[in-house]
Amino acid sequence: MESESRCQESTPSRRSFLQLGVAGPAVLASGILGESFFAASARAASLPRGPFPKDAVIIDARSEGMPSLYTPESRSDPYDASMKNLAKARASERYHPPRPWRSKEESLMIRRFVLYWHTCRDKARPSARSWARQLGISHVWLLKVVRGLKEDPSEVRRLQAYGDPKFAELIRAREYTREMKERGELRLSRRAKWEKFFERYPEARKI
């Protein structure tokens, strides 16, 4: 009987083993790999009791702290770290700016037509989606250009100095864009990238 009582006192309860299964990551993270199994189970028994989700990680407040999930050079705010990495990349000798989506002439014509649409007071003025579709852009980008023009009156005056835009000028500007695209000087859209991929690997269409 005495031996049975000693075994019951020294052997961790079933609840302790269950708690160790939940708090295992916390035990490993605390750096106490040298502890015995029973010491670890006793330490886990002192942690908060469940129920916990399957993927829950319990951190013992008495431990020194959990190691950071980020590398030492990225342990600051993620946005600040991204900005630092971007500045470092731009300072590199191998950095080159991304290719544009369209020619400068077409970009200028789009901004002129957006201003023309924004300042139009005709009741028959088309919607933002319809006007953006005719210009070959998204309505979100159209509204973004409008917000930029509202914040920059000098840009509005610069665009107004060109006069009212004409569709013949837009067609000519799109011709410049087409020539740049043929020379590979423009950024490819996602659809164009897939088309180029399938041209190179036609067997992938069957997958």
Tell me: pLDDT of 152 over 70.
Answer: yes
Whether 103 contacts 177, CB under 8 Å: yes
Handedness of CA 18, 22, 25, 29 (dihedral sign): negative
Cα(153)–Cα(155) distance, rounded to whole angstroms? 5
More confident residue, 13 or 81: 81
Q: Is the pLDDT of residue 35 over 60?
A: no
Tell the residue number behind the tokens 């003025």, with chain if given: 125
Handedness of CA 133, 137, 142, 145 (dihedral sign): negative
Q: Which of 106, 107, 89 is nearest to 98 (CA)?
A: 89
- Report the pLDDT averaged over residues 52-75: 52
Q: Are the beta carbons of 162 and 114 closer than 8 angstroms? A: no
CA distances from 68 to 22, 76, 180 (A): 20, 11, 47
The sign of the dihedral angle between the CA atoms of 194, 199, 201, 207 is positive
Average pLDDT, the chain: 74
Coil, helix or strand at residue 189? coil
Sign of the CA dihedral running 105, 110, 115, 117: positive
Residue 154, classed as helix, strand or coil, is helix
Residue 70, pLDDT above cutoff 80? no
* Residue 197 backbone dihedrals phi, psi, to 5 degrees: -65, -45
- Residue % of the chain over a pLDDT of 90: 35
**For 4-18, 132-146, 185-199, which range has the lowest pLDDT when averaged over its residues?**
4-18
- Are 32 and 40 in contact by the 8 Å Cβ rule? The answer is yes
